[in-house]
Amino acid sequence: MSIVVKKWNELAEVKAELAARDWFFATSGNLSIKVTDDPLTFLVTASGKDKRKQTDEDFLLVDAAGRPAEKTHLKPSAETLLHVEIYNRTNAGCVLHVHTVDNNLISELYAQNGEAVFSGQEIIKAFGIWEENAEVRIPIIDNDADIPTLAQQFSTYIHGDAGAVLIQNHGITVWGRTAFEAKKHLEAWEFLFRWQVKRLLLQRAGLPVG
Ligand X SMILES: CSC[C@@H](O)[C@@H](O)C(=O)COP(=O)(O)O
Nearest-approach distance from CB 78 to Zn ion, in angstroms:
8
How far apart are the C-alpha atoms of 79 and 60, rounded to whole Å? 14
Which of 10, 36, 47, 105 forms a contact with ligand X (CB under 6 A)?
A: 47
C-alpha Rg value of the chain to the nearest Å = 17
78 contributes a contact to ligand X by CB under 6 A: yes
# residues near ligand X by CB under 6 A: 12
Q: Is 145 a binder of ligand X (CB under 6 A)?
A: no
Considering the complex, state which of residue 79 and residue 187 has its C-beta at the smaller distance from Zn ion. Answer: 79
Q: From the list Zn ion, ligand X, none, pick the one residue 153 interacts with, judged by a Cβ distance below 5 to 8 Å according to partner type.
A: none
27 binds, among Zn ion, ligand X, none (CB under 5 to 8 A by kind): ligand X
Q: Tell whether residue 103 is a contact of ligand X (CB under 6 A).
A: no
CA atoms within 13 A on the CB side of 129: 18
Which one among 41, 77, 104, 173 touches ligand X, defined by CB under 6 A?
Answer: 77
By beta-carbon proximity to ligand X, the closer residue of 157 and 195 is 157
Q: Does 79 bind ligand X (CB under 6 A)?
A: yes
Residue 30 found at the interface with ligand X (CB under 6 A): yes
Torsion over CA: 124, 127, 132, 133 (sign) = negative
Stretch touching ligand X by CB under 6 A, among 26-34, 52-60, 103-111, 190-198? 26-34
**Interface with ligand X includes 93 (CB under 6 A)?**
no
CA–CA separation, 68 vs 62, rounded Å? 4
Torsion sign (Cα): 45, 98, 190, 150: positive
Any known ligand binding at 159? no
Whole-angstrom distance, CA of residue 87 vs CA of residue 93: 7
Mention every residue, 6+ apart, whose C-beta is less than 8 A from residue 137. Answer: 115, 116, 117, 118
Strands of the chain (E only): list them.
30-37, 40-45, 59-62, 94-98, 115-119, 135-141, 163-167, 171-176
Among 11, 29, 33, 188, contact with ligand X (rule: CB under 6 A): 29
Q: What three-state secondary structure class fits 62?
A: strand
- Summarize as ranges the residues that interact with ligand X (CB under 6 A): 26-30, 45, 47-48, 77-79, 97
| Residue list for the binding site for Zn(2+) | 97, 99
